[in-house]
Structure 1
Amino acid sequence: MLAKSALSAAILTALSFSVSAQSSSTENIERITVTANKFEQAINNTLATVNVIERAEIESSNIRDLPSLLNTVAGIDVVRNGGFGQQASVFVRGAATKHTLVLVDGVRISDANSGSVSFTNIPVNSIEKIEVVKGARAAIYGSDAMAGVINIITRQAVQHEITLTSGSHNYVNYQQAGEFSQDNITLGYNLGYEDTKGYDVIAKDPVAPVGKDHDSDGYNNQNIGFNLTVNTDELGQFNAIVQYSEGDAEYDNAWGNDAYDFENYSGRIAWQKKLGQFEHSASVSTSLEENTQTGIPKHDIYSTDRVEFEYRTLYRLNDATQFTGAVNYLTEDLGGSTATFSETQRDNQAVFLGGFYDDNKWLANVVVRSDDYDYHGRANTYTTAFGVKPHRDVTFRVNHGTAFRAPSLTNTFVAQSPWYLPNADIKPEEATNNEIGMSLSTRWGRYDVAVFQNKIDNLISNQYDADSGKYIPYNVDKATMEGVELSANVSAFGFEHSINATFLDAKDGTTGEKLVRRPSESFNYTVARSWDKLDVNLAMQYRSSRPSINLYDSNLGQSMATTLAGYTVFNLGANYRLFDGLTLNARLENIAGKDYITAATGYASNGNVLGYTSLGRQAYVGATVRF
């Protein structure tokens, strides 16, 4: 259980922030609108913890990739296997990447084999806004939403702009975005090119002979996207969104492939129309996540092709009460992969119903959903939440929900694998989530505190089978993640302050040991100041020590438990408006050049821990033209 002293201190700190802010003003800050429940709501009325990263924040910080952006959010910790183009694991409230549903414009984009997401290959230039909704959301979104949902909304630029950036490790970036509008038709676009020579992503033993992995690991990404909207009085609104990216990256692998090519796209065609008290919407979406392992003559392909259809209606009974209902059909196909499966495709049919009440003082919602995945049976989930506003600026909330993650086709149907055997009886993973929270909004800032608990059962774990010499998946593990999140966005003393802290206790429910790679304390603080033409922001990021996976020590001839040290890094961003239409920008990453490890790989001959090389001191400069 989380230490009582830390929990008490966290709550008292949040309440002290809240009381001082409320006494300063009774005016609300600008309302932030989000789509956590698949329709637009004020952020304080969702009865869930929701964090939003706006385009203005991205441009102010000049952060270069999505993992770095997500690492600034309360309750999120990112473990990186190096820099650009390398794998990044995103832990939401201590849960693994596969337990968080990731969407681009509402379209699923994960690898259906492993549950991993190519976060580093989603270009920042294509992002307009990121909504992070925490807690069990399967009753609304279906499988995988066990710890939360990350919805990446692509660009909606209202004027044309071009940005050129150059930086460390021969980094170059070109991006462009804009919009064309004529009567009832709007066409937005974004495109980008990114390339870097990179650096050696894995630290090497000083006495090891120089091999093929003693080199820089480069990265390249080309991307383009379109957003077309047509509004008609008679037929409603039609929208078509497509985002495409391709490229390649190098990494270190002593035994085989050490590079990959990728091709990813997502597309969605949607319609919505209001008829009386009903709001109808329908959408068809498709996505491809394809990764081809290269570097040696034999190329392995990992491919996930999805098609999804959803019809949804929202009925507004009155100003306070509304109901929603939807049907959903999803198909997943791994047929483009080189791996062999006895079944390469599966379908899911789902229906969900929800009721929402909000009379500006009392809030409540209930959502129930039933999913029927091929080969795995039916999964029923629900979300319930209740809230009260004792003051127009203050919202107390409590929510409880369940969620699941369907087994992968690899778990159930892999064939002719040299490492794995299938288990046709594997069951979905299941989660139960609880949260108590409070939010406060005034003209001085917005504050939020959340106390959460997430229990995951039937975790799928690969167990070694001595008879076959292979691994077989079983539902044998469980985990509990609980803690406190604090966040504040405050205007004080002429500066803008963004602060968040997370206290996490994540344990293996079977062994009682701490889950590896999760820090127990995280802290992010950004202070920003604007002058006439100059904007400057300084960010600090702290992560406490974390347990590592067991590492093999060749000197001792056995695996050893290892704890990775905590670290603090500072980043600096600046923008200078030279004149109307031209802005110069800069970013200095890891100002002090701090060396740290979030993922270890082994031991050096002298006993030191080796791992993936952190993002060292890096500098970027550029210019943006708007017209």
Structure 2
Amino acid sequence: MKNYCIITMFCVSQILHANQDDITLSLDSNTDEVKSYIIDNVIATGSPIASDISKIPGNVSIINKQNITQMPNMKPADIVKRLAGVYVQRDTGFNPRPSIRIRGINYGTLIMLDGVILSDLEGETRILNQISLYDVERVEVARGAFSSLYGTNAIGGVINFITSMPNKLQLEAIAGYGSEFQKNTANRNVLRFYGSVGNAFLDKKLRTKISVGINSDGGYPNFPAVYGGNNGSNLMGSFVDKVGRRIIGDGGRRDTIIWDTRAKIEYDIGDTSMLSSMFSISNHSYDYKDFTSYLKDGHNIINTDKDYFVGSGFGGYGSYTHIIGNVSYSSEFDEAFFKVSLSSVNLLSFWQDADLTKGGNRFGGPGTTQDINTSSNYLDFLYNFSINNIHSISTALQFRYYYLIQENYSLTDWRKDTNLIGIPILPKREGESFRAYGSQAIVASGYVNLDSNWMDNLSTSFGLRYDYWQNFESFSKGTSSSASSQNQKPLQTQQFSPKASINYNITSYWLMKASVGSGFRMPTLREIFPLNAGEFRSNTDLKPEVGLSFEFGTELQSKYANLSLYYFQTELFDMIYRSGSGITVNDPGIFKNAGYGRINGVEVSAIIPIYDFGTWGSLSLEGNYTLTNSKIIKNSADPSSIGKYLPDIPIHMGNVALHLSSAKTLDYIGKTNNDTNYIGGVYASLWAHFASEFFNDSRNSPVLSNTFGYYEAQFSLNAKLGYIFDRGFDISMQFLNITNNRYYDFYIVQGASFYAQLRYKWNVK
């Protein structure tokens, strides 16, 4: 295809500007390896069409398959956790609801899978850790405001997880086992299985792949059991934590099963067009078991007849089932490209727990449930054409339909009718829900983007997007919204999101970048209808939170080091802020557009080659540091918070990793290199992660150490050691949190553990 050839030729000339987060391979004359290296410098995220990384605005990272497989990783969120500017909040075990933030912006990171947006009306990306780690071929991360391309939730940046598609017969099988070193401190009995088969037919015009991944583990206790009575001073064995809660045990270990299935197909129509499709079903189910009691009777014997270990809202059992479908058609012309894509992301989930006030206990009895049914649907039209040798224009029309309903029911037996195998249906409920909220929304958007290559070393980009957002059939009911009507007025808004950028290659190894743009995020339904326990009020007058962002930076690429330095700043307007404690009727909680905030900081990254062992591989040192200074400038809802730090944002983050990269690889050509000169199959990685403590409220209340619900300073040391054999086998061992440093990331993180894995990958020559 003509455009692909142009991009490929351009990338060869720009190969020195490879991303600093991409580990470079030693290449021989093998055509497949050269092609793979070139493609690693073409990115589809942060630009309307695939472009060379040196042309994408801002600080961009690419993580390839070799980097993914040779680093300590247990889930997809681990892949991006080590990057500058990226923070994974509540990263405890296999959390079904991880929160990934780029540059400190709440709900400001857009997560995609193969270009399909995964976020829903609650701003959640629950599917992320359901995606099989071994299906991910590549991850692209673009930092900065990208609402000019993607719309809502892209103020901080965009992350695109891309799954693999072989172009010849390829088989892969993986089996692994891991566990804790010390009882009840980390995920126990981790079992993993993965298998995939892909092939190409009709002279490689038809390509298919099917994959299945399964993960099970026994979990570990990550939150305390709190006495719910008025006076527990007579409870022997209990203690009072720093907040004043009486701790009587733990909530049990989280027993988890995750499975993920995916089918992909691509078909080339002639030489210039392609039809592609993807369909996946995945599930994350969990059940808290084996509660630990600290209570003792008069004979100093553990007492287990108290049932404060359930009904807290943190335990119970639940299931998240995702169904994703996508079909797209693309075609290239002499100087143009057209693509139409239809996608649907659906979630069916439920959670159940005991109701202690009505006599429920760990074995059953009265309880409550939370059922969620949500669907996000996308129809996109993209057209790109070249005006001349300098300028090209991309235009797009996008239509979205969202649906979400969350309902709470009373149960006569909360342990009955457990659907923990992920059947894509919600349990049948009796009667009406006692609390619920929901909404639907339609979005119509269009954007135009002008890309200009003024010289070989100078390019600019100007873009403008318009979004029309209309909510309808919004409602809420329940005791927490007693002051509000049952039917809420719809939310309607129009947003313009411009962006401009310039990239300049001062020399062949020195690149400068600068950009300015605006982004926005819609208020989530949980902010509009915060139907939590306590006294909260809905607010259908919430407006979108808008951010004006700019950044400038430089990258130096040489054989001695790859360095990058970026400064970023975001001005947040109409910042969504929670007013009121939500504890009493006289001080109800409500979310308001009350604030104006500022987030600025610095991202520094470096990769330093230490030694090239030739046919035995190479040794390199990688590191990054992020400084994030976030302050509240104005806040009419709480003037006392002015000048204080925004909550949930660490000021300091850093990563250091030492890599021994093997000269062999399974992941660029699907087999090890049979050249006998390549004799080194050993690879190893040692990775240290650090994040400073941070506040959990805008009052900047002191961070309490060793206390549930707070965010302590974080440090973890992780290692991976492996060997690649000549016949497609890869055996590896991971050691996670080697120092057994157990800190609170709201929940307590898991301690030291190990994971051993055998991988086999084969494809026809």
Conservation of the 8 A alpha-carbon contact between 2:72 and 2:687: no
Conservation of the 8 A alpha-carbon contact between 1:477 and 1:509: yes
User: Relative to 1, partners in 2 of residues 1:571 and 1:342: Cα closer, same or farther, differing over 3 Å?
Assistant: closer
2:468 maps to 1:372: yes
Conservation of the 8 A alpha-carbon contact between 1:373 and 1:406: no
In 1, the alpha carbon distance for the partners of 2:748 and 2:534 equals: 31
Conservation of the 8 A alpha-carbon contact between 1:341 and 1:413: no
2:214 maps to 1:193: yes
Shift in Å, 1:578: 4.0
Correspondence for 2:658 among 527, 547, 556: 527
In 1, the alpha carbon distance for the partners of 2:256 and 2:532 equals: 33
* 1:332 corresponding residue in structure 2: 402
In 2, the alpha carbon distance for the partners of 1:86 and 1:379 equals: 32
2:573 maps to 1:457: yes
Conservation of the 8 A alpha-carbon contact between 1:155 and 1:177: no
Correspondence for 2:346 among 288, 307, 313: 288
> RMSD in angstroms over aligned alpha carbons?
2.9
* 1:314 corresponding residue in structure 2: 384
SS of match in other structure, 1:110 = coil
2:281 maps to 1:270: no
Shift in Å, 1:541: 1.5
Shift in Å, 1:83: 1.1
In 2, the alpha carbon distance for the partners of 1:230 and 1:391 equals: 41
Q: Which amino acid aligns with 2:176?
A: T
Shift in Å, 1:68: 2.1
Correspondence for 2:274 among 229, 237, 240: 237
Conservation of the 8 A alpha-carbon contact between 1:453 and 1:481: yes
In 1, the alpha carbon distance for the partners of 2:627 and 2:336 equals: 43
* 1:606 corresponding residue in structure 2: none
2:685 maps to 1:615: no
Correspondence for 2:95 among 80, 85, 90: 85
Q: Which amino acid aligns with 2:754?
A: A
User: Relative to 1, partners in 2 of residues 1:307 and 1:548: Cα closer, same or farther, differing over 3 Å?
Assistant: closer
SS of match in other structure, 1:546 = coil
2:171 maps to 1:160: yes
Higher strand proportion (structure 1 or 2): 1
SS of match in other structure, 1:352 = strand
Q: How many corresponding residue pairs?
A: 582
* 1:207 corresponding residue in structure 2: 238
* 2:128 corresponding residue in structure 1: 119
Deviation track 1:280-315 (CA, whole Å, cap 9, x = no partner) reads 110000001333112344321123201110101001
In 1, the alpha carbon distance for the partners of 2:563 and 2:531 equals: 52
In 1, the alpha carbon distance for the partners of 2:48 and 2:210 equals: 24
Q: What are the ranges of 5 or more consecutive residues in structure 2 without an aligned counterpart?
A: 1-19, 21-33, 180-187, 227-236, 240-245, 289-308, 355-366, 409-432, 471-490, 613-618, 635-641, 663-679, 706-710
* 2:25 corresponding residue in structure 1: none
Conservation of the 8 A alpha-carbon contact between 1:221 and 1:246: yes
TM-score with structure 2 setting the length: 0.71
Conservation of the 8 A alpha-carbon contact between 1:258 and 1:293: yes
Shift in Å, 1:536: 1.1
Shift in Å, 1:407: 2.3
2:162 maps to 1:145: no
In 1, the alpha carbon distance for the partners of 2:752 and 2:526 equals: 40
User: Identity across aligned pairs (percent)?
Assistant: 17
User: Relative to 1, partners in 2 of residues 1:207 and 1:81: Cα closer, same or farther, differing over 3 Å?
Assistant: farther
* 1:255 corresponding residue in structure 2: 312
2:556 maps to 1:537: no
In 1, the alpha carbon distance for the partners of 2:161 and 2:343 equals: 15
Shift in Å, 1:192: 0.3
Conservation of the 8 A alpha-carbon contact between 2:272 and 2:332: no
Q: Which amino acid aligns with 1:167?
A: G
2:628 maps to 1:507: no
* 2:450 corresponding residue in structure 1: 355
* 1:547 corresponding residue in structure 2: 695
In 1, the alpha carbon distance for the partners of 2:271 and 2:406 equals: 42
SS of match in other structure, 1:68 = helix
2:595 maps to 1:477: yes
In 2, the alpha carbon distance for the partners of 1:415 and 1:585 equals: 46
* 1:172 corresponding residue in structure 2: 191
In 2, the alpha carbon distance for the partners of 1:117 and 1:433 equals: 27
Q: Which amino acid aligns with 2:469?
A: Y
Conservation of the 8 A alpha-carbon contact between 1:83 and 1:201: no
In 2, the alpha carbon distance for the partners of 1:550 and 1:369 equals: 32
In 1, the alpha carbon distance for the partners of 2:525 and 2:554 equals: 40
2:508 maps to 1:392: yes
TM-score with structure 1 setting the length: 0.86
* 2:556 corresponding residue in structure 1: 440
User: Relative to 1, partners in 2 of residues 1:343 and 1:598: Cα closer, same or farther, differing over 3 Å?
Assistant: closer
User: Relative to 1, partners in 2 of residues 1:119 and 1:357: Cα closer, same or farther, differing over 3 Å?
Assistant: same
Q: Which amino acid aligns with 1:459?
A: M
Conservation of the 8 A alpha-carbon contact between 2:211 and 2:263: yes
SS of match in other structure, 1:113 = coil
User: Relative to 1, partners in 2 of residues 1:513 and 1:336: Cα closer, same or farther, differing over 3 Å?
Assistant: closer
In 1, the alpha carbon distance for the partners of 2:395 and 2:322 equals: 31
User: Relative to 1, partners in 2 of residues 1:258 and 1:550: Cα closer, same or farther, differing over 3 Å?
Assistant: farther
Moved more, 574-583 or 139-148: 574-583
Conservation of the 8 A alpha-carbon contact between 1:307 and 1:331: yes
In 2, the alpha carbon distance for the partners of 1:150 and 1:566 equals: 25
Conservation of the 8 A alpha-carbon contact between 1:85 and 1:121: no
User: Relative to 1, partners in 2 of residues 1:500 and 1:424: Cα closer, same or farther, differing over 3 Å?
Assistant: same
Shift in Å, 1:479: 2.2
User: Relative to 1, partners in 2 of residues 1:567 and 1:409: Cα closer, same or farther, differing over 3 Å?
Assistant: closer
Deviation track 1:456-511 (CA, whole Å, cap 9, x = no partner) reads 11122233487687433321123211111011233222312222111121223332
Deviation track 1:398-419 (CA, whole Å, cap 9, x = no partner) reads 1000011122345557899975
* 2:140 corresponding residue in structure 1: 131
User: Relative to 1, partners in 2 of residues 1:413 and 1:566: Cα closer, same or farther, differing over 3 Å?
Assistant: closer
* 1:21 corresponding residue in structure 2: none
User: Relative to 1, partners in 2 of residues 1:185 and 1:84: Cα closer, same or farther, differing over 3 Å?
Assistant: same
Shift in Å, 1:32: 1.3
Conservation of the 8 A alpha-carbon contact between 1:156 and 1:188: yes
User: Relative to 1, partners in 2 of residues 1:118 and 1:213: Cα closer, same or farther, differing over 3 Å?
Assistant: farther
* 1:5 corresponding residue in structure 2: none
Conservation of the 8 A alpha-carbon contact between 2:225 and 2:249: no
In 2, the alpha carbon distance for the partners of 1:415 and 1:197 equals: 31
In 2, the alpha carbon distance for the partners of 1:438 and 1:550 equals: 34
Shift in Å, 1:337: 5.1
In 1, the alpha carbon distance for the partners of 2:447 and 2:712 equals: 45
2:264 maps to 1:227: yes
Shift in Å, 1:383: 0.7
Q: Which amino acid aligns with 2:376?
A: R
Q: Which amino acid aligns with 2:688?
A: M
User: Relative to 1, partners in 2 of residues 1:528 and 1:417: Cα closer, same or farther, differing over 3 Å?
Assistant: closer
Conservation of the 8 A alpha-carbon contact between 2:166 and 2:200: no
* 1:497 corresponding residue in structure 2: 621
Q: What are the ranges of 5 or more consecutive residues in structure 1 without an aligned counterpart?
A: 1-17, 19-27, 553-558, 600-611
Deviation track 1:228-270 (CA, whole Å, cap 9, x = no partner) reads 1000117710110123211312468652452220001322111
SS of match in other structure, 1:492 = strand
Q: Which amino acid aligns with 1:352?
A: Y
In 2, the alpha carbon distance for the partners of 1:139 and 1:616 equals: 42
* 1:63 corresponding residue in structure 2: 73
* 2:439 corresponding residue in structure 1: 344
